[in-house]
Amino acid sequence: WIDGTNSSTQPVSLFTVPEFEGNAYRITSLSYSPDGNDVLVSYSSDHLYLFSVK
């Protein structure tokens, strides 16, 4: 919900790996760190990537 509505169509944040830009991929696994500061992602069963959320 943004500004009291649930009609947002734009993502709040994007996390991608530079070599994937412009190519089709899918997230096959995702896990947030216990403190919520990081997200660990696997794209198309490839390597794991760690992104800082904040």
Tens digits of residue pLDDT in 5-47 = 666 677 777 777 777 777 777 888 999 999 999 999 998 777 8
**Domain count along the chain:** 1
CA–CA separation, 10 vs 42, rounded Å? Answer: 22
In a domain, 20, yes or no: no
In a domain, 33, yes or no: yes
In a domain, 44, yes or no: yes
In a domain, 19, yes or no: no
In a domain, 41, yes or no: yes
In a domain, 46, yes or no: yes
In a domain, 31, yes or no: yes
Neighbours of 19 (CB within 10 A): 9
CA–CA separation, 18 vs 49, rounded Å? Answer: 11
Domain residues for the domain of 29 are 25-52
Give the residue ranges of DSSP H helices in 1-54.
Answer: none
This prediction has a pTM of 0.64
In a domain, 2, yes or no: no
State which H helix or E strand residue 52 sits in.
Answer: strand 48-52
